[in-house]
Chains A and B, each alone.
Chain A
Amino acid sequence: MNILEIRGLWKNFGKLSAVAGVDLDFREGEFTSIIGPNGAGKTTLFNLITGKLSPTSGTIMFNGKDITGLTPFQISRLRLSRIFQITNLFPDLTVYENIKVAILAKRKESLRMFTLTQNRSEADLETEKILEVIGLLDKKDSICGSLSHGDQRLVEIGVALATDPVLLLLDEPTGGMGPEETDRMVQFIRTLPERQKVTILLVEHDMSVVFSVSERIVVMHQGAIIADGRPEDIRRNEKVREAYLGE
């Protein structure tokens, strides 16, 4: 079954078309990466899917439901989640609070004004579970802004996972990481689909990461799809070599 169907999607900024007529289907459970040179429209595509931007034209269907033009919080409630290219968290809250607030939102308990957060509840168990998944249980009381870049990227994923997504959009999870941190992150991302029963869409610059984790690769160039297929097909594709790999 297709978890996400994109039809005739355009996004224009003035004269520039950041996304120019994209048609894509994503199957549930298939690890797909989107690659392309800087400015190819990958992040814009993510912003359109998650409601941060609204498209100029076209439709986006998620799990059979038209989500075109919905707001980010509405889309998130349908269990479509994302992480951001530039770390985007609640810096002055603890790691624990970062995750817990997302858990509370998912459980629709975040409007409770007379339930003290210090009283343990089901939500705390779920929070700890997520902390265990991202491996930061021992740093749960640290102020998030004081963590290393790599750990903050993990919290970023933790916050996204806390909403219990069926589709997770990862925008350069290894961006700005050293080789060791990248390795750790790749290992982690690789285990996610099975562990969390989530379909992953990855935007990534590091080609070794992309080719090692993906079952399918979509190549974007100047807002359009120029290739789409299994990693070995993409590696051989002439158009991709020309436009992207620069050969």
Chain B
Amino acid sequence: MLNRYLWFTGLIILIILAPLFLSNFLVVFLTEMLIMILFAISFNLLFGYTGLLSFGHAAFFSIGSYVTGLILLHIYPSIPLAFLIGVIAATLAACIIGYFCVRLDEIYFAMLTLAFGMMVHTIVWKWDRLTGGADGLVNIPRPPLNFLLFQVDLSSIASYYYFTLILVAISLYILWVIVNSHFGLALKAIRENSDRIQFVGINVRRYRLISFVISGFFCGLAGAIFGPFLKSITPSIAFWTKSAEPVFMSLLGGTKIFLAPAVGSVIFMYLKEIISGYTELWMIYLGAILIGFVLFLPGGIVGFLYEKLKGRRLGGIVG
């Protein structure tokens, strides 16, 4: 137990100190990793905890990203304002898309989210005058954060890294609480048996919709952070391959342990970075590795290690 806390504390200290001893290139990479971790874990609230596989979560990520970017570019260069509106837009989209999708189960749910996701992609791609079409949004500003007494400059990658770290940490904490709350237990029961849970008085659709909207909210936030981070975004972040990323990350890490998709994200991005340095065909190799993981470690890497260490089947009780 003590050992575990030591590891955890060590890891957190490393994460906090990272910009002091890493190159800018690596800090950029870490920042993107943090954003993808938030994306994957928000997605997994729906996938691992509610039992709904969405293939359209890039919609919320990209809506959060585009709306935030547009506000910063054209309305008013304020991070809090732009983030707020970006996240609200993503949440509203989740309400509307979720309203239709939670009526269905399993493959039908997955296909409907995919369809909505592709609709959002088409809008982003074709609405040239607003979204810049295939070129996307360029030169998204990264204005300083204004607190009443002082300003925080976000122009350096180190400061934006910390800004991202704080937002992601708070979001993960909130998601952790939700997963371990009464509501979280009800979600797990829905995942286990969505038919039976109705006979104890739970309105499954309502719970699924709430879970869907929370998931969309945090994906929107991940997207909002992403725009000013890269300073330019293209419709590729709305494409279905972007929706597939959190699916892979969750499967890779494990879907039933809260932080497992984070491990999946780290491995996914690391592999992608390494392999794409060698070959254009990185997707083939990455795909092959992922197929191997899914076939031979169906509980994900963290799930597998957890079972080995504890020597027991993985239940729903693991935070």
By a beta-carbon cutoff of 8 Å, the part of chain A in contact with chain B is 50, 71-73, 76-77, 81-82, 84, 88-94, 97-98, 100-102, 104-106, 109-118, 123, 143, 146, 159-160, 162-163
Contacts and interface: CB of A to CB of B under 8 A. Distances in A.
B317 interface: yes
A135 to B, nearest CB: 20
Q: Is the interface of B mostly helix, strand, loop or mixed?
A: helix
Contacts, number: 123
Interface residues of B, number: 32
Contact of B182 (A73, A104, A160): A104
28 contacts: A71-B203, A73-B201, A76-B198, A81-B199, A81-B200, A90-B193, A91-B192, A93-B315, A94-B316, A94-B317, A98-B189, A101-B197, A101-B200, A102-B200, A104-B182, A105-B200, A110-B182, A110-B186, A111-B182, A111-B183, A112-B182, A112-B183, A113-B178, A115-B182, A116-B181, A117-B182, A143-B312, A163-B201
Nearest to B202: A105
A112 B181 contact: yes
A84 B193 CA distance: 13
B188 A97 contact: yes
B272 interface: no
Contacts of B202: 73, 105, 110
Contacts of A117: 180-182, 184-185
Given A93-B189, A93-B317, A105-B186, A115 B196 contact: no
Contact of B180 (A101, A118, A123, A159): A118
Contacts of B196: 84, 88-90, 159
Contacts of A143: 312-313, 315
Contacts of B316: 90, 92-94, 97
Contacts of B313: 92, 143, 146
Contacts of A97: 185, 188-189, 315-317
A159 B202 CA distance: 13
Given A97-B316, A97-B317, A143-B313, A162 B181 contact: no
Nearest to A111: B183
Nearest to A81: B199
